[in-house]
């Protein structure tokens, strides 16, 4: 995270704190945690709410190619920044809840979804819509990685049950402002 990232992020938060879930971009500790299970072999990755691109940088360091990244950002103030920093990535200006309307990938299914969205402040219906659409893109064995600043998974048990998903905390760090955790959300495996 550079000092140049803090000011635009903070301005966006001041304008709409219900849309920008944190007061500052995520730091290196949580970025590393968020991307630790993703490699070049993961294939295409969708990033929801990339903001200034902190997780995007971490994905590139893990070997994901820019052309395998689709960045979905609702904040118009971040779009030019993302396009400039990641010219090889597909940058889409849209609400993540509109994923179900789009045909983002033909052929190769997505290996991972990385989410910096503030799911805790969204209505359960919107969270359900976002997760349902994301899992339509994800291949079998693919996972949805979600940051949270809360004490537990930001997706309620009711939403997880409705979509037949499970969540597990893959780590937390106090070396982030605020302290954060990452959850891996995946399809439940049948117990035949």
Q: Is residue 157 part of a domain?
A: yes
Number of domains within the chain: 1
pLDDT tens, position by position, 88-115: 999 999 999 999 888 887 777 899 999 9
Dihedral sign of CA atoms 3, 9, 14, 15 in order: positive
| Domain coverage including residue 179 | 3-187
Q: Give me the mean pLDDT over the 103-132 stretch.
A: 92
Q: Is residue 38 part of a domain?
A: yes
Residue 125 corresponds to which tokens in the numbers above? 């219906």
Buried b (16+ CB within 10 A) or exposed e, 53-92: bbbbbbbbebebeeebbbbbbbbeebeebbeebbeebbbb
The Cα 37–Cα 26 span in angstroms is 18
Per-residue pLDDT band at 145 (split at 50, 70, 90): very high
- Confidence at residue 8, expressed as pLDDT on a 0 to 100 scale: 56
Q: Is residue 27 part of a domain?
A: yes
Q: Is residue 122 part of a domain?
A: yes
pTM: 0.85
Q: Is residue 44 part of a domain?
A: yes
pLDDT tens, position by position, 20-35: 455 445 678 899 999 9
Q: Is residue 192 part of a domain?
A: no
Q: Are 135 and 165 in contact (CB under 8 A)?
A: yes
Q: Is residue 160 part of a domain?
A: yes
CATH of the domain at 12: 3.40.50.150
């Amino acid at each position: 995270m550079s000092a140049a990232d803090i000011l635009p992020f903070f301005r966006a938060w001041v304008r709409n704190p219900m849309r920008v879930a944190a007061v500052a971009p995520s730091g290196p500790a949580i970025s590393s945690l968020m991307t630790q299970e993703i490699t070049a072999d993961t294939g295409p990755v969708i990033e929801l709410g990339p903001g200034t691109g902190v997780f995007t940088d971490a994905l590139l360091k893990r070997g994901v190619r820019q052309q395998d990244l689709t960045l979905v950002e609702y904040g118009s103030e971040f779009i030019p920044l993302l396009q400039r920093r990641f010219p090889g990535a597909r940058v889409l200006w849209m609400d993540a809840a509109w994923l179900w309307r789009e045909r983002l990938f033909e052929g190769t299914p997505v290996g991972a979804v990385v989410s910096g969205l503030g799911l805790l402040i969204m209505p359960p219906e919107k969270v359900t819509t976002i997760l349902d659409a994301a899992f339509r893109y994800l291949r079998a064995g693919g996972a949805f990685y979600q940051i949270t600043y809360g004490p537990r998974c930001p997706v309620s048990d009711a939403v997880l049950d409705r979509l037949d998903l499970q969540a597990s905390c893959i780590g937390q760090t106090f070396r982030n402002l605020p302290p954060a955790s990452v959850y891996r959300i995946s399809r439940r495996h049948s117990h035949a």
